[in-house]
Structure 1
Amino acid sequence: MAEYIEDFFEKFFEHKDDLNRQFHQGDISKKEYIEENYYKLMEMGQKPYKYVDNVFKALYNYQYYNMTGKFYKLRLREFEKYNKHPEKEREYYKKIQDCYYRKDQSTLKLLDLVDYYDVEGYYISVKSKDLKNKLFEIVVDSHEIKAVLHSVNPLIVEKMKENGIFSTKSKKSVIKSYINSRY
C-alpha cells in the first residue's frame, strides 16, 4: 500500500481511538463524539473509496457512512424538534437511509475481504425495545485489524450464518456504554 495511504489510515484511526478514549472516560458526550468524528472526516477530505481492495478501505468506508449517518440523524432531530421544515426532514431522512445502506455494503465488503475469518457476530443486549433482537455486533479480530461493527441488516446476519460465524445467543456489547447511551 502506498505510504501516503498508510499515513492517512494511521492518522484517521489514531484520531478515532483518541475520541473513543475521551468518550469512555466521560470527557465527551455521545453527541460530541459523533460531531467530532464527522468534522474530522470532513477536515481530512477523503471521500469513501469507490474501489475497495483492502480491509482498511472497507473499514474507513464503514466509519465514514456510519458517522455521517449519525451526524445527519442529529440534524434531523433538530428539524423534527421545531417541525418547521418538513422538506428538510425528508431530505435528511433519505440521506440517513443512504448512509446506512452504504455502511452495510461496506460491512459486507469487509467480511468478504477477511473471508469471514477471525470474525464473530451476535445480537446484543440493548435497552431499546425497538432494537432488541435486531441490533447485532460484528467483532473482527484479525492480524490486520481489530474492529467492532454494528447493523440491523438481516442480509448480513444470513451471510454470517452461512459462514458459521453468527451466534443466535445474545451477548453484551463489547462497547455497551456507547451502544446504550443516547445522543
Structure 2
Amino acid sequence: MIYVVMGVCGSGKTTIGTALAEKLGLPFRDADEFHSMENKKKMSQGIALTDQDRRPWLLAIYKYMRRLSKEGNSGVVTCSALRKSYRDILVNGCISEEREPIPEIVFVLLHGSRAVLQNRLDSRSGHFMPTSLLDSQLATLEIPTSDEKCVQVDISMSPDKVMDQIIERTRTIAIKS
C-alpha cells in the first residue's frame, strides 16, 4: 500500500507521514522534495501556485510512487493533493489514454479547524510556506469523494492517536480492495 498523507498547510503531513513511515517500516518522501526551486520561491513570496506550476510536481510524485508500485513496494508520501484533479494525476499519471494507474494508493486526509491550523502555522519556523496561504489552500481543498480510496483523520488528536486511526481505517480499505 502507498499512503498519500494529504491536507492543507499546517495539517501535520510531514510530522504524521514521517512517524507513520517509521512505525510501519516504510520509506518516506515529502512532497516538498519534488517541488522546483521556482515553485518554492513563489510560495515563500506568498504567491499561490497555478495548476501549470503544480503539474510537473504532481507527475514527479506519481513517477516515484509508480516505481514503488512496479517494484512491489509500499511507502508513505506527503502531498497537499487539494483538488480531485491533482489526486487523479497522482493515481493515473498523465491524463490521457495511456494511463498507468497505481491501484494500491490510499489517501489520508488530515483535517482540522482553521484555528488549529493557524496556530500550528504561527508556531512553526523555517518553512517556505507562509501562513498567508492558508485561506487559499482551504478554499482550494476538495474533500475526497466516495469513489476515491481515502480516510479522514481529525488532527486535534495526538500524533500517536492519529497514526492509530490511519492504520485502523486503511486496513478496512485494504480488506475491501
TM-score (norm 1): 0.30
Higher relative contact order (Cα pairs below 8 Å, separated by 6+ residues) = 2
The structure carrying a bigger helix percent of its residues is 1
Larger radius of gyration: 1
TM-score (norm 2): 0.31
